[in-house]
């Protein structure tokens, strides 16, 4: 069998991680079997569909590494839906209805009060030809429902196993509105037939839709595809995800600095018994992919696990793999030595820019937290250049000998003076990047007691020129 799958988002909002998981698993399933992936944009809802969301969907999928061989918009395929509708009309499988929205709401309220199933009562099937003519002369335009057969619908689900649904428990779905536009059911089936979709992998919220659509496939003389229904993802608090609410959108995660392979590694593992681990590429994910690994349990998306994977990727990735991205961030002068020095302290790539600024720009540590006497003594013991990775050990040994200090009481004040940060990369690798001149200036900044610059509570703030005529609180 030549495998073809599809991902069919409605362009009515931004994709969230739940949508992304469905798209990713479809792509990996196709790749694992040498198949194709169709991106179908279900934009029949003209009122809510937006072109900017279509662009966002494509951007987010491309960022995640989910490519597609073909794109189709349902708004371009109305002719095919009209043709299928005519066939169903000729076969007597659809029927016109005239109830208003208010009348249908009243019917549902009555059923709820009687604790009856919320099924359409098929009152429209009792209308005579005379009734149809009378209603349409009064300006009532019909909407059309598909007539469900009462027999049970069964299928072998690739995730859930044997599934069935009693036909008598299914409500005749509306296929076409009174204004002539189509709802989800019929266009989805027609597209799956026309594009020879072999496997439909989607959320378990579509289980009832699947039972109805199998009947529509049969009514159109087509064989249904194989189905796989995945449990819906929830956030760590147990809440469901929503495009309308912007829940954990891919757009937000991308802007926060999440790496796509970190997200893909987490999404592909969720819902399986396999331990979460970082993968190196999409090809590796596809090679190990198997729908049988997925259970019925509800997967919970934990952002802390995602950030851990993100950091692990950055800690291991070589300079060559990120060089172009660093240049795009304006860090064209960053060297491989600098990258190797800071990557173990990064949780997102953009943080490398922060450390580059710390190492190469003018900073003003807060004098209130600087150990002035120690820093001045240390400044006097700075070795001559050139500096390399051994400079730190030579320098710190000289300071220990002079002061008798060791451990945190020695290292922390020097780190605060040199970087303005309480934690960070090893000073042995940062020191040659900072260089002797900058190190000397930073160590001597603790001397100034003038009021030319107001000291803040943080470790670093921009340089200002005060009445003393110098830059920073301690430059004289």
Least confident of 239-248, 296-305, 462-471: 462-471
Per residue, the 3-state secondary structure of the chain, as one string, reads: CCCEEEECCCCCCCCEHHHHHHHHHHHHHHHHCCCEEEEEECCCCCCCCCHHHHHHHHHHHHHHCCCCCEEEEHHHCHHHHHHHHHHHHHCCCEEEECCCHHHHHHHHHHHHHCCCCCCCCCHHHHCCHHHHHHHHHCCCCCEEEECCCCCCEEEEECCCEEEEECHHHCCCCEEECCCCCECCHHHHHHHHHHCCCCEEEEEHHHHHHHHHHHHHHHHCCCCCCEEEEECCCEECCCCECCCCCCCCEHHHHHHHCCCHHHHHHHHHHCCECCCCCCCCCHHHHHHCCCHHHECCCCCEECHHHHHHHHHHHHHHCCHHHHHHHHHHCCCCCCCHHHHHHHHHHCCCCCHHHHHHHHHHCCCEECHHHCCHHHHHHHHHCCCCCCCCCCHHHHHHHHHHHHHCCCCHHHHHHHHHHHHCCCCCCCHHHHHHHHCHHHHHHHHHHHHCCCCCCCCCCCCEECCCECCCCCECCCCC
Task: State the pLDDT at residue 469.
Answer: 35
Distance CA(290)–CA(32), nearest Å, equals 8
Relative orientation angle of helices 260-269 and 303-316, to the nearest 10 degrees: 130
* Residue 464 in this model has a pLDDT that exceeds 60: no
* Residue 463 in this model has a pLDDT that exceeds 70: no
When pLDDT is averaged across residues 108-134 and rounded to a whole number, the result is 89
Other CB atoms within 10 Å distance of the CB of residue 315: 13
Q: Is 404 left (phi over 0), alpha (psi -120 to 50) or beta?
A: left
Residue that the structure tokens 């929503």 belong to = 242
When pLDDT is averaged across residues 59-85 and rounded to a whole number, the result is 97
| Cα–Cα distance list, 98 to 94, 102, 105, 354 (Å) | 13, 12, 14, 65
Distance CA(263)–CA(245), nearest Å, equals 20
Distance CA(214)–CA(219), nearest Å, equals 9
Other CB atoms within 10 Å distance of the CB of residue 335: 13
- From the list 351, 172, 342, the residue with the least C-alpha distance to 257 is 351
Confidence of residue 246 (pLDDT cuts 50, 70, 90): low
104 versus 365: which is more confidently predicted?
A: 104
Other CB atoms within 10 Å distance of the CB of residue 133: 10
Distance CA(159)–CA(298), nearest Å, equals 13
Task: State the pLDDT at residue 243.
Answer: 66
Task: State the pLDDT at residue 110.
Answer: 85
* Residue 296 in this model has a pLDDT that exceeds 90: no
- β-strands 226-230, 199-203 pairing: parallel
Task: State the pLDDT at residue 244.
Answer: 62
When pLDDT is averaged across residues 156-161 and rounded to a whole number, the result is 96
Structure-token pair, residue 366: 């807060």
472 versus 16: which is more confidently predicted?
A: 16
Asked whether 436 and 392 are in contact (CB, 8 A), the reply is no
Average pLDDT of the residues of the chain: 89
Least confident of 102-111, 119-128, 169-178, 187-196: 102-111
Q: Is the dihedral of CA 27, 32, 37, 43 positive or negative?
A: negative
Distance CA(289)–CA(197), nearest Å, equals 20
What domains can you pick out in the chain, each with its CATH number?
1-88+151-167+182-316 (3.40.50.620), 317-357 (no CATH), 362-461 (1.10.10.350)
């Amino acid at each position: 069998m030549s495998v073809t799958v599809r991902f069919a988002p409605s362009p009515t909002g931004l994709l969230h991680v739940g949508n992304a998981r469905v798209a990713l698993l479809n792509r990996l399933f196709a790749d694992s079997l040498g198949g194709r992936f169709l991106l179908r944009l279900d934009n029949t809802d003209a009122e809510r569909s937006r072109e900017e969301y279509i662009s966002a969907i494509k951007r987010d999928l491309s960022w995640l590494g989910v490519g597609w061989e073909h794109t189709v918009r349902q708004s371009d395929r109305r002719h095919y839906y009209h043709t299928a509708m005519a066939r169903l009309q000729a076969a007597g499988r659809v029927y016109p209805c005239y109830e208003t929205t208010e009348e249908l709401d009243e019917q549902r309220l009555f059923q709820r009060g009687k604790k009856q199933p919320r099924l359409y009562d098929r009152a429209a099937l009792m209308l005579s030809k005379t009734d149809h003519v009378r209603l349409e002369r009064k300006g009532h335009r019909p909407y059309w429902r598909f007539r469900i057969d009462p027999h049970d619908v069964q299928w072998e689900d690739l995730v859930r196993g044997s599934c069935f649904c009693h036909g008598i428990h299914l409500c005749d779905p509306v296929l076409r509105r009174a204004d002539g536009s189509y709802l989800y059911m019929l266009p989805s089936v027609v597209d799956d037939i026309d594009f020879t979709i072999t496997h439909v992998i989607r959320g378990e919220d579509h289980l009832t839709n699947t039972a109805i659509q199998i009947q529509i496939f049969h009514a159109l003389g087509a064989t249904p595809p194989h189905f796989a229904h995945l449990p819906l993802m929830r956030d760590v608090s147990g809440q469901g995800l929503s495009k309308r609410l912007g829940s954990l959108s891919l757009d937000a995660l991308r802007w926060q600095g999440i790496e796509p392979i970190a997200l893909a590694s987490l999404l592909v593992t969720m819902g399986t018994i396999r331990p979460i681990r970082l993968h190196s590429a999409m090809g590796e994910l596809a090679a190990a992919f198997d729908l049988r690994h997925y259970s019925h349990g509800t997967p919970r998306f934990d952002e802390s696990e995602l950030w851990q994977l993100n950091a692990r990727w950055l800690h291991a990735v070589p300079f060559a793999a990120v060089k172009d991205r660093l240049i795009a961030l304006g860090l064209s002068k960053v060297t491989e030595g600098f990258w190797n020095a800071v990557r173990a302290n990064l949780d997102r790539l953009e943080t490398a820019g922060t450390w580059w600024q710390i190492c190469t720009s003018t900073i003003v540590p807060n004098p209130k937290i600087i150990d002035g006497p120690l820093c001045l003594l240390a400044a006097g013991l700075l070795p001559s250049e050139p500096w390399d990775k051994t400079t730190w050990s030579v320098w710190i040994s000289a300071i220990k000998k002079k002061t008798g200090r060791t451990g945190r009481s020695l290292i922390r004040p020097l780190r605060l003076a040199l970087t303005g940060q309480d934690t960070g990369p090893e000073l042995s690798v940062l020191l040659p990047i900072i260089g002797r001149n900058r190190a000397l200036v930073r160590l001597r900044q603790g001397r100034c007691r003038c009021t030319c610059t107001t000291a803040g509570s943080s470790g670093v703030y921009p340089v200002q020129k005060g009445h003393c005529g110098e830059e920073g609180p301690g430059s004289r």
